[in-house]
Amino acid sequence: MVELSNNLPDSELIAQFCVIILGLIVAWDGYWLTRQRIDIPELGDLPNSGFAWESNQQQEISRQWANLLTLGAMMSLPWMLAELSDTPMIYVWIWDVLLALHLVSLLVPKRYAITSTHLFADGQKYEWNRLRLPKKQPKKRIMLLRKGWGPFGPLPLGGKIATLAVVAQKILSILNEEE
């Protein structure tokens, strides 16, 4: 019988690599989350028909439900695999702590803004010519799609339903001008 474990990379080295990459992702997202108050210091009407608004935690849960479920799976799966691969459990704990921090960051109320040239969401700035509205919209949020991203391109926007109605009209107006 052939021993396969001699040909596999060291599980601790792989775990360290995965934890470092996840740590960088969580730090990157945390940085952009802190930027939102710098980029969008005021809410309400902005110059040149712009508009800024904020969501609350319940709206972020509605906006991020699929990501929350994915994080739950990502937190539980390593527990089943660590023992099989002889991965030290400390890395599973660190993995879960980092994912828990990321989960919390998804639930923090977000600030959004639209201007005639850009959308500000999740600490990022998107040019309108790189976004489009799908034909069907969800009921409790606005969904935009990032062009060229395929199935990885949804960009949901949260907020109060009344606010999103105002925002949707402004977005339609901007996107129609782009065409």
Q: Is the pTM of this model over 0.85?
A: no
pLDDT of residue 178: 67
Grade residue 2 by pLDDT with cuts at 50, 70 and 90.
Answer: very low
**Which pLDDT tens digit goes with each residue over 48-84?**
889 999 999 989 888 888 889 999 999 999 998 888 8
Question: Has residue 2 been placed in a domain?
Answer: no
**Structurally, how many domains does the chain consist of?**
1
Report the distance separating Cα 142 and Cα 59, nearest Å.
Answer: 11
Write out the residue range of the structural domain in which residue 169 sits.
11-178
Question: Has residue 39 been placed in a domain?
Answer: yes
pLDDT of residue 1: 41
Q: Residue 125: what are its φ and ψ, rounded to 5°?
A: -120, 125
Q: 46, 113 in Cβ contact below 8 A?
A: yes
Question: Has residue 6 been placed in a domain?
Answer: no
Alpha-carbon distances, residue 76 vs 82, 92, 111 (angstroms): 11, 9, 31
Question: Has residue 153 been placed in a domain?
Answer: yes
pLDDT of residue 75: 93
Question: Has residue 3 been placed in a domain?
Answer: no
Q: Per-residue b/e over 106-129, b at no fewer than 16 CB within 10 Å?
A: beeebbbbbbeebbbbbbeebebe
